[in-house]
Amino acid sequence: MNANMTLILDKIKAYSNIIIFRHKRPDGDCTGATKGLHQILRLTYPEKSVLLSNTDFCEYVSFLGEENSPLPDAAFADALGIVIDTATADRISDQRFSLCRELIKIDHHINVDPYAPLEWVEEERSSACEMIAAFYDAFRDELKMDEIAATCIYTGMVTDSGRFRFRSVSGDTMRLAGMLLDCGIDTDRLYANLYMKDFNALQFQAYMLGRIKRTENGVAYLHVTRAMQEKFALSFEQACASVSYMDAIRGSLIWIAFIDCEDGSIRVRLRSRFVTVNEIASKYHGGGHACASGATVANRAEMRRLLADADARLGAFKQGTEGWL
């Protein structure tokens, strides 16, 4: 067990006001981990004020329940802040974290910005939710879990591990998932919520499949313009989900979705297998995991430069590696 887990529990016990923070544009893991810990702490310490800063939320896991209304400034002064799944301070969705009396970071990203005095970072964990499950497991004599918390945490484990497919999935991941399943999660409902799509989203997928391009060395990419988002009446999140359309093209070990944002910038979602992409993301105002990163480019010229970098990266990888697919 990581020694800081005990220190984190001690801090939680010492504070009567606790605020849990997530990152901007939270995904299923960040949402599940923050909601899951929120529920565990509320169940265990009904006398404490445990709040969730969650004006940024994730559409595709909205079935996990209501999000709270914005918190007043006064809530932060005496609070212990716990930031989950957020590598850098600038990505915390509510910058009033700086008003908290003390701050804790719990994360599974590369620790490029140790912004909290007390942190528990395990880069090899498949999800932040797995860490929350491990935290509960380590102190299960003291902490309380119910079906609501277990469902939130399990959902993030499922989504961030690619349905338990990624290399980061360990025996521990599966044991912790088993522990959560024993709490009575309705997996039929969970997977119906994760897999069923709106008809317009399906039509958009069919349209985009015909527009996937490949660079010389096989980097697959697509570009979702504002006009396309309007044509299919897509939410921004639905448009961004298009990165997954390219995840199984033989030879395309890197795949990238470019999505036009309202402010004129272009969101970049990079994914890969075998070859890493986080250093490319870092070069373009982003970062993330070795094989799943995000970035932002200002215009099409910068988009082409990023593509050229990715193409060179994949080319070098293929040349230097035997047995790539």
Q: Which residues bind ligand AMP (CB under 6 A)?
A: 27, 87, 91, 269, 286-289, 292-294
CB of 16 to ligand AMP, least distance (A): 31
CB of 177 to ligand AMP, least distance (A): 20
CB of 211 to ligand AMP, least distance (A): 19
Nearer to ligand AMP, 36 or 288 (CB): 288
Nearer to ligand AMP, 36 or 286 (CB): 286
Nearer to ligand AMP, 128 or 148 (CB): 128
Cβ-count burial of 210 within 10 angstroms (0-12 exposed, 13-18 middle, 19+ buried)? exposed
Nearer to ligand AMP, 232 or 255 (CB): 255
Nearer to ligand AMP, 38 or 269 (CB): 269
CB of 101 to ligand AMP, least distance (A): 26
Give ∠ CA 231-27-214 in degrees, rounded to 5: 55
Nearer to ligand AMP, 36 or 294 (CB): 294
CB of 79 to ligand AMP, least distance (A): 24
- Mark 61-87 as b/e (b = at least 16 C-beta within 10 Å): beebeebeeebeeebbeebbbbbbbbb
CB of 308 to ligand AMP, least distance (A): 20
Q: Crossing angle, helix 147-160 and helix 128-138, to 10 degrees?
A: 140
Output 91-97 pairs: Cβ under 8 A, ≥24 positions apart.
91/23, 91/24, 92/21, 92/22, 92/23, 92/24, 93/21, 93/22, 93/23, 93/24, 93/26, 93/53, 93/54, 93/55, 93/56, 94/21, 94/53, 94/55, 94/56, 96/53, 96/71, 97/19, 97/21, 97/53
